[in-house]
Amino acid sequence: MREMIKLDLSRSRVDAQELQAAAAGLEEAKAKLWSGEEPFTGWVKLPFDYDRTELEEVLAAAEQIQKQCDILVVIGIGGSYLGAQAAISTLKSGKDNVPEVCFAGQNLSGTYHKELLDRIKDKELCLCVISKSGTTTESSVAFSILKDELYRKYGKEEAAKRIYAITDANKGILREETAREGYVSFVVPDDIGGRYSVLTAVGLLPIAAAGIDIKEMLAGAESAAAAEKEDRGAAASLAAARMALLSRGKAIEVFEYYEPSLFFFGEWLKQLFGESEGKDGKGIFPAALQFSTDLHSMGQFLQDGNQIFFETVLNVMKPAQDILVPESAGQLLAGKSMNEINQAAVEGVIAAHEAVGVPIIKLEIPELTPYYFGQMVYFFETTCAVSGYLNGVNPFDQPGVESYKSEMRKVLMKL
């Protein structure tokens, strides 16, 4: 049996009594999550129940994309792209026969999209458009622009063979267009919200097209799901610790990582926790910092600033590669590996921050492989959902997001 992500709460400053008080509703929250009766909890049992026929269809479509193009542009925003970008940037297949994966429709910058058009104009191209409704402004605009580029390069009939749509099963503008034009398509499940959709076709198609082993990813998620189901997992304990810290005024969680490839995983965590917990005047504000880089900008605040935060350290135990530091670096560093020095930074930062009273939570991630990435996704999805239940909010809706959209439409109507 392979290892699991390990949770270390020994420096969290949460004592057993606090943890017990925070965990008072833990069994109820877990039962609710696993009941199958709550809306948008289809992801909970997904690793056990994933449609194997669909999985093979996803793999076949990914193989076709690899044959068709040099660049795959994934069009989507929020949960429609962040999980895929997190996986692709974290895992980097290193294979020569896979397309570069770019992202569009995650912002409304004309400069960004013009530069993207310039970059892809002489390349073989495919699009993967991801939107449940087909009406999200950012992705709708980007799809229109990039579809026009496909028409220009290939003509409408050939372009349709290079568009892959992931959308609602039965309704919506994108589903209607998909049926009319004959795009290869997959479904955004009705019972899984965007930020919990990494392990559906939403994430799996672009990830597979990038040459990453999605079967291993699902196996890792299944191992995490089995652990949580059998009360061997640590996600619920982390949720209880987070709520105990929140009750003490620790309203910001700083996710810290020492491997730069985890940048977009940090962005995914920010969306997962921010959109799930931030409602009804409640929640923990999620931030993400890349160390040691950000120690030279935010380290001072973390050491001596207003302690309204706690730190959650994502520590990778076996990074993919390493190099030795040459003699010219001086006696302290010469002959050591960079990973040894990086690990010294991990322990040094923890010791320094712990000494001034900062609560530290540490997660040990064995390796950055598809298997452990699947574990990480499921672990944090569960932590987030249970935290929401413990804090008395629905972790699966996002009513506040609709407010800015409504106001933006009013402005657009005046233009």
Question: Could you give the dihedral angle defined by the CA atoms of residues 231, 234, 236 and 240, in that order, rounded to the nearest 10 degrees?
Answer: 130
d(CA 383, CA 363): 13
What residues form DSSP beta bridges with 248?
A: none
Strand 252-257: give its sheet, edge to edge: 6-8, 360-365, 309-316, 252-257, 285-290
DSSP string covering 296-342, please? GTTHHHHHHS---EEEEEEEESS-S---BPPGGG-TTTTT-BHHHHH
Which of 95, 171, 318, 405 is flagged as catalytic? 405
Exposure string over 48-83, b if 16+ CB within 10 A, otherwise e: eebeeeebeebbebbebbbebbebbbbbbbbbbbbb
Q: Is 114 a catalytic residue?
A: no
* Strands 163-167 vs 184-187: parallel, antiparallel or unpaired: parallel
For the CA atoms of the chain, what is the radius of gyration? 22
d(CA 152, CA 121): 10
d(CA 241, CA 25): 13
Instruction: Yes or no: say if 246 and 391 are a contact pair by the CB < 8 Å rule.
Output: yes
Instruction: Yes or no: say if 131 and 178 are a contact pair by the CB < 8 Å rule.
Output: no
Which of 37, 230, 296, 414 is flagged as catalytic? 296
Ramachandran assignment for 36, one of left (phi > 0), alpha (psi -120 to 50 degrees), beta (any other):
left
Which of 275, 277, 311, 381 is flagged as catalytic? 275
Q: Is 405 a catalytic residue?
A: yes
| Amino acid present at 265 | F
d(CA 337, CA 271): 34
Instruction: Yes or no: say if 64 and 99 are a contact pair by the CB < 8 Å rule.
Output: no
Q: Is 296 a catalytic residue?
A: yes
Q: Which residues are catalytic?
A: 275, 296, 405
